[in-house]
Structure 1
Amino acid sequence: MNKALLGKWFWKWFENKQVLWKQISFYKYYERKDWSEFIHSNRGQLSYFWKNLFLNVDSFLCSTRVEVGEGKHTLFWLDKWLDSYTLASLFPSLFIITSHPYASVSNLRKKRNNSWIWDIKFKRQLTGSLVFQFLNLLNLIKDTKFVQKEDSRIWLWETNGIFSVKSFYQFLIDGGLRFDCADIWKLSIPLKVKIMVWLALRQSLNTKDILTKKGIQLELNCVLCSKVEESHTHLFIECEFVFSLWKSIQFKLKIGKDFKMKSLKEVWLNWTAGGNKECKMKRDVLFCALLWCIWQERNDRLFSNKKKRALEILNKIMIFSTFWLGSTISDRAARLLARRKKKNERLGVIQPAGATGEETSIVIQLD
């Protein structure tokens, strides 16, 4: 709670550009430095209050995005000023070797011969894939519009875009996992499936468009339809091949809603809403099984050159969902113990009376 309360000072720092307390603290500690260096440089000479305040700076920055004006108060690498990602996360190899990791946007944007250029310096010469990554970075930022106004910082965890201690506290205690689709963690499905679906709902899987932003050169067309460039929205919703799977699952679940969704999160919230607990669980599990099979099929075609027909994938979805729906923790534990027992019998393992699968057993070597 104390960290969340201290976060309010950060918000005041960014919102109130010319307040007296900010000017005093700035000139007392870092009179000859830029404001970004004030936040990230050596803090040995700071007071106890400022030392504790700056322990939270990374959590605060990842909870905000910036609408760029002149770029004076926007960190080029560490602020979200282009999309929902920072340039440091999209191009980590470049960020590691940059000469000014905490530079503001305006510091790296120079005017020469009546034209604006990006003056981004690195500790060593760029070679190999780093050159392509740098070109991708420049291509990503070249169309950014700059206007003569102050940068505006927006708080991501409130709909009105204004900081609140409550929302920052919730973010700090669960690392940002508080999400509209958090019910997925309560489902009785494998953990790897939960993680994959969670990443898909947050558009964080390494689809081809994301890999391209990270500087990886590859064929962009979707491997399922070979017609459109692959992205989260296309791969899981708009692809012709995938659309037929969605319609089949929609018929199976007897959902009458028209399938015109813009994102997986919207599909989840619309399809899984309402009904009794048992019906909702069935829809949730089928949803997860569908996404898991789509992702598996995409990877099989991309890396193993193996293809399945839509009917085969539908059968696979139904098998997975049926197994997961009839699978509780106690059921899985019982099956695991049964498999261990059969394995021990095959190897000639003798267990002491009353022993469980977790206790030490005596192994007799068979000739």
Structure 2
Amino acid sequence: MFRASVYVRLGDGATTRFWTDSWLPQGAICNFAPHLYRAISRHHRRATVQESLHNRRWVRDITGEPTTPVPCYYIRVWEAVEDIQLNQLEADRFVWRWTANREYLASSAYCSFFIGMTSLRGAKEVWGAAVPPKVKFFFWLALHGRLWTAERRRRHGLQDEANYALCDQADESSDHLLASCVFSREVWFRLLRLAGLQHLAQGSYAVLVDWWLRTRLEVLSQFRRGFDSVVLLVAWEVWKERKRRNFQGGRLSPPQLVQRIIDKAAAWIGAGF
């Protein structure tokens, strides 16, 4: 009964999934009453709703260990199905719950995959930027907070300290590393000053995605895609400088890193980016 409830039609023409969502306030029985569901053998779970409701067969199908939650869920399911009457004169049919007319559409099936999902701020701009794919992926991880910074490594118990190699003034998080660190801010200021946009430089408590999406609106529309590319390039080179100091023993000053970014931008342009 319980697994079949997702597919089998009940009474007034609704599918069983529609029935469970209508009468059981928390969805399918396997989710609504998990302990009771596990007390049903796999063979009995294949029974249809009609078979299970006939003479209350579903009660006899409960053969598992009667743990404490089982009677509680049993009572709730009993109350939900006790007054249901099947219409024997109407044939079963499938209905599609994601459209108003209950008819299947491929577009609605695709859209149903995204129900309950939240969009990532800046994702559209990241994948539209004219930069190499590896840089897009790196920045996408940064927006998710999934870079293996010292702060994240400490959170996962991989190291004891979260000190930041570039400034040693705060824990090394993605936002601090790429936006609010004094080293990163000096690099940004020097680069923006070359274009007369130094007033757009971020503050000491900047959040990367907030600063980026707000600042790009102050850039002329025809230059925004290029500005996005510069943002990703700077973030990428700051991350590489962090790796250089942590693992290679090298060290570039902010002016040296700015020149490196300018050279890299010229190389990207020559490569078609």
Q: Contact conserved, 2:178 with 2:208, CA < 8 A, in 1? A: yes
Q: What is residue 72 of structure 2 aligned with on the other side?
A: none
Please report how far the alpha carbon of residue 292 of structure 1 lies from its aligned counterpart in structure 2 after TM superposition. 0.5
Structure 2: where are the runs of 5+ without partners? Answer: 1-16, 50-107
The answer on 1:264 being equivalent to 2:225 is no
1:262 match: secondary structure = coil
Q: What is residue 45 of structure 1 aligned with on the other side?
A: 45
Q: Which has the higher contact order (CA 8 A, sep 6+)?
A: 2
Q: What is residue 131 of structure 2 aligned with on the other side?
A: 189
Please report how far the alpha carbon of residue 235 of structure 1 lies from its aligned counterpart in structure 2 after TM superposition. 1.1
Report Cα offsets for 1:266-307 as digits up to 9, x if no partner.
Answer: 122122225445422321121111101110011111112211
The answer on 1:21 being equivalent to 2:52 is no
What is the alpha-carbon distance in structure 1 between the residues aligned to residue 176 and residue 157 of structure 2? 21
Report Cα offsets for 1:157-186 as digits up to 9, x if no partner.
Answer: xxxxxxxxx9x938649x977643422223
TM-score, normalised to structure 2's length? 0.57
Q: Contact conserved, 1:185 with 1:194, CA < 8 A, in 2? A: yes
Q: Relative to structure 1, is the Cα distance of residues 45 and 240 closer, same or farther in structure 2, using a 3 angstrom cutoff?
A: same
Report Cα offsets for 1:114-134 as digits up to 9, x if no partner.
Answer: xxxxxxxxxxxxxxxxxxxxx
Which residue identity is paired with 2:227? R
What is the alpha-carbon distance in structure 2 between the residues aligned to residue 202 and residue 247 of structure 1? 25
Higher helix residue share: 2
What percentage of aligned pairs have identical amino acids? 22
Q: Relative to structure 1, is the Cα distance of residues 319 and 227 closer, same or farther in structure 2, using a 3 angstrom cutoff?
A: same
Q: What is residue 365 of structure 1 aligned with on the other side?
A: none
Report Cα offsets for 1:47-66 as digits up to 9, x if no partner.
Answer: 799xxxxxxxxxxxxxxxxx
The answer on 1:328 being equivalent to 2:269 is no
Partner of residue 224 from structure 1, selected from 150, 166, 189: 166
Please report how far the alpha carbon of residue 227 of structure 1 lies from its aligned counterpart in structure 2 after TM superposition. 2.5
1:33 match: secondary structure = helix
What is the alpha-carbon distance in structure 1 between the residues aligned to residue 180 and residue 243 of structure 2? 18
Alignment: residue pair count: 194
Q: Relative to structure 1, is the Cα distance of residues 241 and 172 closer, same or farther in structure 2, using a 3 angstrom cutoff?
A: same
The answer on 1:33 being equivalent to 2:32 is no
What is the alpha-carbon distance in structure 1 between the residues aligned to residue 246 and residue 215 of structure 2? 30
What is the alpha-carbon distance in structure 1 between the residues aligned to residue 262 and residue 184 of structure 2? 15
Q: What is residue 314 of structure 1 aligned with on the other side?
A: 258
Aligned residues: CA RMSD = 4.1
Q: Contact conserved, 2:241 with 2:252, CA < 8 A, in 1? A: yes
What is the alpha-carbon distance in structure 2 between the residues aligned to residue 25 and residue 233 of structure 1? 41
Q: Contact conserved, 1:171 with 1:178, CA < 8 A, in 2? A: no
What is the alpha-carbon distance in structure 1 between the residues aligned to residue 151 and residue 250 of structure 2? 22
Q: What is residue 233 of structure 1 aligned with on the other side?
A: 175
Counterparts of 1:75-224 in structure 2, within 5 Å, are: 169=111, 172=114, 179-224=121-166
Q: Relative to structure 1, is the Cα distance of residues 20 and 219 closer, same or farther in structure 2, using a 3 angstrom cutoff?
A: same
What is the alpha-carbon distance in structure 1 between the residues aligned to residue 48 and residue 157 of structure 2? 42
Q: Contact conserved, 2:185 with 2:201, CA < 8 A, in 1? A: no
Report Cα offsets for 1:208-231 as digits up to 9, x if no partner.
Answer: 111122221243110001222211
Q: Relative to structure 1, is the Cα distance of residues 237 and 275 closer, same or farther in structure 2, using a 3 angstrom cutoff?
A: closer
Q: Contact conserved, 1:286 with 1:318, CA < 8 A, in 2? A: no
Q: Contact conserved, 2:127 with 2:136, CA < 8 A, in 1? A: yes
Counterparts of 1:276-355 in structure 2, within 5 Å, are: 276-328=220-272
Q: Relative to structure 1, is the Cα distance of residues 23 and 171 closer, same or farther in structure 2, using a 3 angstrom cutoff?
A: closer
What is the alpha-carbon distance in structure 2 between the residues aligned to residue 211 and residue 245 of structure 1? 26
Q: Relative to structure 1, is the Cα distance of residues 272 and 46 closer, same or farther in structure 2, using a 3 angstrom cutoff?
A: farther
Larger Rg: 2
Q: Relative to structure 1, is the Cα distance of residues 218 and 277 closer, same or farther in structure 2, using a 3 angstrom cutoff?
A: same
Q: Relative to structure 1, is the Cα distance of residues 48 and 203 closer, same or farther in structure 2, using a 3 angstrom cutoff?
A: farther
Report Cα offsets for 1:57-76 as digits up to 9, x if no partner.
Answer: xxxxxxxxxxxxxxxxxxxx
Q: What is residue 184 of structure 2 aligned with on the other side?
A: 242
1:308 match: secondary structure = coil
TM-score, normalised to structure 1's length? 0.44
Q: Contact conserved, 1:187 with 1:285, CA < 8 A, in 2? A: yes
